Chain A
Amino acid sequence: MIEISNLTFGYSKKNLLFKNLNLKLQMGHIYGLLGKNGAGKSTLLKNLAGLVFPQEGLCSLKGYHAADRLPGFLQELFFIPEEMHLPSITASQFAGSTGHFYPKFNEAQYFKMLAEFDVPVSDVLGKLSFGQQKKVMIAFGLATNTALLIMDEPTNGLDIPSKVKFRKIIAGALTDERCIVISTHQVRDLDSLIDNVLVLHEQEIVLNRSLDEIAERLQFTTAVQANKAAILYEESNAIGINTISENHNETFSKVDMEMLFNAIISDHKSVTDILK
């Protein structure tokens, strides 16, 4: 299990990004981390990865504290940042030089994913396009088979066919022994992959629920179909009004993650209260 307890962090003491933030993540799931620009998504991920140190509280993974950065911890973690600077070596050389830091690194799996992604293995990484570089790191990160894999905006820079391949590759790589955390603004790219939604808002995690639980409690419909008395949030678009209402009659509707997010960040406490 991965746990953040009472995390307080800010790049300066006057301006805290998180205050007493708590979060528990379970193995075998894909978490989608949502938050506004500047809410601190990337910083939260860096705390989890031990890349920055909390003012108070701690992040732990398999009993290790992230901030200690012990080898046992680093072996179980892979972090794919939004932007990266890759060395002047090829994808094959990268596996040779970096793979052995990860005891569960599976070279065959790595090359198979690179082939699926259509990335040349003998070109120098630094000279590949941004999208190609990203695919190399996604393939490498998945092949390390670490307990925690963190991806910050992984679909940014991927072309349309690569996004399909990305979804297939992730679907095939999730096991009960690993947890994948994806921070994203492109929820529609990952709609059917994410099974748990995290929302970071105003220094706290205000939502940590599975999509199944959300669909049980909330209904996403047009205003015409909604039960007026149960409406919690409305949003109008060109076609009409979409609503989130309390789900009283056990009818299923697909969770519209974008609308749910908008409802939460516009301080609709009623929505977060129902999901508590």
Chain B
Amino acid sequence: MEFRENEAIYLQIAAYVGENIMLGKWPVNEKIPSVRELAVDLQVNPNTVVRAYEFLQNKEVILNKRGIGFFIAADAGEKIKGYSKERFLGNELPEFFRNIFLLNISMKEIEERFEKFKSETYQK
């Protein structure tokens, strides 16, 4: 996983977990990788994964079942959507707006490209 420079790594890991849940790669009510497994997988300090999991626990996306591991909460999808939307609107959208303004890209073009992207990326 390549980490971006403008956001703390633990938040990027939390977003990665969220993405796996949203895309159904990690099913609801199932156990997710342990701190150690994910740290090895992503080549990061396990303390960073602990922080990411604490963040997700606070957002009620995952639950810690003592001695067994971390599980995905039943309504994890809704919870993730909630805070991801906030994060997107706050951080990424202004940057996007800045770029389309500077490059003079019309909303119509964005819309067309968005439709194309959706059909190419998320078709089942």
Contact = CB atoms under 8 A, between A and B. Distances in A.
Q: Do A and B bind each other?
A: yes
Interface of A: 28-30, 164, 167-169, 171-172, 174, 192-195, 212, 215, 252-254
A215 B48 contact: no
Contacts of B11: 252
Contacts of B47: 28-29, 174, 195
How many chain B residues sit at the interface, stated as a range, is: 10 to 19
B6 interface: yes
B59 interface: no
Nearest to B43: A167
A192 B40 contact: no
> Interface centre among B7, B39, B41, by most A CB within 10 Å?
B39
A171 B5 contact: no
Given A192-B9, A252-B8, A254-B5, A174 B45 contact: yes
B88 interface: no
A194 B41 CA distance: 16
B6 A171 contact: no
Interface in B14-38: 36
Contacts of A193: 43-45
Interface string B66-99: 0000000000000000000000000000000000
A174 B46 contact: yes
9 A-B pairs closest in CB distance: A167-B43, A254-B5, A171-B39, A172-B40, A192-B44, A168-B40, A195-B45, A171-B40, A252-B8
Q: Is the interface of B mostly helix, strand, loop or mixed?
A: helix
A164 B48 contact: no
Most buried by A among B41, B42, B47: B47
A194 B45 contact: yes
A252 B7 contact: yes
B3 interface: yes
Contacts of B41: 168
A215 B51 CA distance: 15
Contacts of B9: 192
B89 to A, nearest CB: 16
Contacts of B39: 171-172, 174
Contacts of B45: 30, 171, 174, 192-195
A195 B5 CA distance: 16
13 contacts: A167-B43, A168-B40, A168-B41, A171-B43, A172-B36, A174-B46, A192-B3, A192-B42, A192-B43, A212-B8, A252-B7, A253-B5, A254-B6
Contacts of B7: 252
A179 to B, nearest CB: 12
Given A192-B48, A195-B48, A168 B43 contact: yes
A198 B45 CA distance: 17
A59 B72 CA distance: 45
